[in-house]
Amino acid sequence: MTAQPDPRSPALKQRASETRSAFANQDAAASKQAHDETIRDWEEDGHGEGDAAVEVYRRVDALQAGLCLAILLESAFGSSLERKKLVAIGLSLATAHALREWTTQTWYARHYYRERQREEWELENYAQGERAEMVGLWCYKGLTKPDAERCIDLLASYKKFFVDLMMTEELRMFAPPSDASWRRVTGALLVAAGGVLPLLLGGVLDSVYGSMLVGARASCSHLVTCGSATSALAFTGAWRASTSRLPEQRHALEAAMLGAACYVVPRLLL
């Protein structure tokens, strides 16, 4: 079997850039040239980049969750609670969120591998029935029955690949990442960082300028905590947009508006 090229290689990065540029300009000739001049046996550019994009989205989501939490806490309790208590609440809620994400992903992995074992067992014991299910599914999606049968007969001869196909096509389930534990740890740390660091900045302002700005301490603390968290939200919006090749300014503004909403809602309700 021919080894697959590394999706992080310079050649594939160049191909990804050129094909996307051709699409943006609606230049079919440039797209053909970009495909023909790079690695010919690569099935499609973007597989590796798709995984990388999903990882960026996951990190952005975790960080944004923490940042929104910091703004909500500052808006609701920033002027009435001691800073150390506010930070403790933020860290506690961030920990609870991270644990919920951890258990959710753990439970999904258990569910996925149990369903995969079931599909493997059914394919081993009643391959005809599994093939018929996939034929029916692909007929529903628009293939003729003879075409679907030919495709499934060929693909079913590759058992591992066919089980993968059944998991995604029939059950709409995708395999958990191989580095799931590390991703859970980084996600938990990002939620905690987003939730605690802006609150700590407000605490630093109080300790440094409290004696000089006695009457404005709460306002300055609000400004630093909510301003830094909102700025970070805008950055994460632009970061995610750059990964998706979408307008960065628009997504940065939308993320900043999320921070503004997190500030306003507690003010209206409390």
Residue-level pLDDT at 171: 93
The stretch 97-122 carries a mean pLDDT of 92
**Predicted confidence band of residue 205 (pLDDT cuts 50, 70, 90):** confident
Q: Which is more confident, 15 or 69?
A: 69
In this predicted structure, the answer to whether residue 98 has a pLDDT above a threshold of 70 is yes
Mean pLDDT of the chain: 85
Assessment of whether the complete model's pTM goes beyond 0.85? no
The stretch 127-136 carries a mean pLDDT of 93
The stretch 176-188 carries a mean pLDDT of 87
The stretch 48-57 carries a mean pLDDT of 76
In this predicted structure, the answer to whether residue 110 has a pLDDT above a threshold of 50 is yes
Per-residue pLDDT tens digits for 145-159 = 999 999 999 999 999
Contact 167, 122 (CB under 8 A): no
94-98, 116-120, 146-150: least confidently modelled range: 94-98
Range of 100-104, 106-110, 214-218 with top mean pLDDT: 106-110
